[in-house]
Amino acid sequence: MRSSIILALLFFALNSFAAQTQLSSKSIWNPKIGETDLLQRIRDVCSRDLELGHIKTIHSCFIAELEKLKVDPEVVQFVKQTKTIGYMTDFKRVGPVDLAYVNFPFRANQNEGFYLANGTPSLIDVDDPKWVDSAKTHSFFLVLQKKYPNLSIFPGDRSPSFVPQIIREPRGEIDFVFQYSLRDGCRACAHLGQLDLSFRFNSKGKFQGVIVHQVKASHEKSE
């Protein structure tokens, strides 16, 4: 009987912990009006301290600066989970997987992005370079690459107003479709087309993988 009670309590504790670690709009942080230079100040402080050897990583410095500002603990917890130093600017509940809008203040180019949140795994960065690898073997991509040897893939629209296409399949799966830009070499080079990748989850929110939704050249039909 005692062992049954202990197991029941352990099960309850684990489920309570899982519920508490679910991300929500409580993790959102946006600098207040009048703090337009706040992020630049943090960037300057962390870059200087890293150069002087006062800190080990920019990530830890950014977290420390947020804690000095006494932001909500949920904000700091989210930043701790990101690999590339990002904070949440918006949150959309979709279920069973949700959408987190993220700003990456230390990125050199595109500072906005998305995480797919609260599934398994708990966070997926849709612009992690490994996801575009699946597209490089797509037949239409290979045809386009023959014409443009420097064909490169970059993130598409990641602005706060963008909402990815969400497709719910009959068997309960859910797809989040994100756009990527096909360029002739560099981010600012000629736009050659668009790649759409679908991030698929089962009805329980477990990640199933990335599917090439479509690849299309500029002014051409989708494949």
Q: What is the mean pLDDT of residues 133-155?
A: 92
The one-letter amino acid at 171: R
* Spatial separation of the C-alpha atoms in residues 114 and 178, rounded to whole Å: 9
Instruction: Look at the block and give the residue holding tokens 């859910």.
Output: 174
- What DSSP element (H or E) covers 144? helix 139-147
pLDDT band at 83 (very low <50, low <70, confident <90, very high): confident
Answer with the residue of higher pLDDT: 39 or 162: 162
Q: What is the mean pLDDT of residues 42-67?
A: 91
- What DSSP element (H or E) covers 17? helix 2-20
How many other β-carbons are positioned within 10 Å of the β-carbon of residue 200? 18
**Confidence check: pLDDT of 177 > 70:** yes
Q: What is the mean pLDDT of residues 2-28?
A: 55
H-assigned helices in 23-115: 38-52, 58-68, 73-81
Torsion region of 193: left, alpha or beta (phi above 0 gives left; psi -120 to 50 gives alpha):
left
How many other β-carbons are positioned within 10 Å of the β-carbon of residue 91? 19
pLDDT band at 1 (very low <50, low <70, confident <90, very high): very low
The residues with which 210 forms a beta bridge, in sequence order, are: 199
| Model pLDDT, residue 40 | 87
DSSP 38: H
